[in-house]
Structure 1
Amino acid sequence: MSGADAPEILAAYDAVRSDKDATNWLLISYAAPTGNQLVLSKTGTGGLAELAAELDDSQVQYAYVRVEYANDAESKRVKFCLVVWIGEHTKVMRKARVSIEAGAVKKVLAHYSVQVDAGERRDLDEGEIIKRLRKAGGADYNGGRG
């Protein structure tokens, strides 16, 4: 068992999904350099920029982020994204297991509109992610503009 379904991860997931909680991201990391035990490493309220600053270039990490954006002057949308971070200095064997181990994470963090596979912080540009969320969401009231 990977630990992806640990009570603290489930509680953080519920907090990110809740409209009544300021928490808008969570970060899951491996407990040790080897093995597949996952732990909740951090949560935050500062969105994608704050999350990006917390990522470790030597690790594989999984994040779940709440993204809010306006469709037009009248409406606001809330969408969620799953981030699979593979830092540029991650060991080869850890990288090789991502596709298998990400499955356990996806079962727990199940409700998301897009998955962002990231290896550089610029992959977490909020404007680009919002464009992807709009496309995934169907209706785009901005005529494709970001």
Structure 2
Amino acid sequence: MATNMDRDAIRDAYEDVRSNLTDTEWVVFKFESSEIVVAAKGSGFEDFRQQFLDDERAFGYIRIQMGDEMSKRCKFLFLTWIGCDVGVMQRAKMSTDKSIMKEVISNFAAELTAECEADMDLNYFMEVLQKAQGANYGTGIRNEEN
């Protein structure tokens, strides 16, 4: 059965994460039967990482603040989640489903695939984003004493 999705709802959620005018830092898309839907939106990495279960397939899109002492900028990461208890046929279908999602979710600095809780590490996500952005001259922490 072909995968469907509500492109308008997915695009709206994607734009919400990209907007500097909202507090939304992430969105998670899950499967309801053969349809990809917006499952959750929010802020805070801990809430994001709790959205992914071992028996589910999902996609995530998250804004993470990067930068150094002098400049801050948001970078975006696209996540494909294939839980460790997902069957072989559903795993195989994810490559096709991911290409459908990328027709809407098109602007991100890095892309990851995760399958267990240990993969959902903010420091690792930031490391991947740093590598994707090139040169890194600062710590990202402004020294308030100066």
Which structure 2 residues correspond to residues 58-69 of structure 1 after superposition, within 5 A?
58-69=55-66
The CA deviation string for residues 61-89 of structure 1, in whole angstroms up to 9 with x for no partner, is 001000112x3222112100000000011
Query: What SS class does the counterpart of residue 61 from structure 2 fall into?
Result: strand
**Paired amino acid for 1:10:** R
- 1:98-127 superposed Cα distances (whole Å, 9 cap, x missing partner): 111110011111001111100112212111
Distance in 2 (alpha carbons) for counterparts of 1:11 and 1:22: 14
Whether contact under 8 Å (1:57, 1:88) holds in the other structure is yes
How many percent of aligned residue pairs carry the same amino acid? 28
Aligned to 1:42: 40
Aligned match for 2:81, one of 85, 94, 108: 85
Q: Which residue is 2:15 aligned to?
A: 14
Partner of 1:111 in structure 2? 107
Does 1:55 find its partner at 2:52? yes
Asked which structure has the greater CA Rg, the reply is: 2
Structure 1: distance between partners of 2:85 and 2:135: 39
Give CA deviations for 1:118-137 in whole Å, capped at 9, x if unaligned.
01122121111111111111
- Whether the 8 Å CA contact 1:87–1:119 is kept in 2: the answer is yes
Q: What letter matches 2:56 in structure 1?
A: Q
Q: Is the 8 A contact 2:7 2:104 kept in 1?
A: no
Give 1:94 deviation, angstroms. 0.7
Q: Does 1:98 align with 2:94?
A: yes
Contact 1:55–1:61 (CA under 8 A) maintained in structure 2: yes
Give 1:30 deviation, angstroms.
0.7
Encode CA deviations 1:48-71: one digit per residue, 9 max, x unaligned: 3211111121111001000112x3
Q: Secondary structure at the match of 2:72?
A: strand
What CA RMSD, in Å, does the superposition of the two structures yield over aligned residues?
Answer: 1.6
What is the aligned residue count? 138
Q: Tell me the CA shift for residue 5 of structure 1.
A: 4.8
8 Å CA contact retained: 1:61, 1:85 = yes
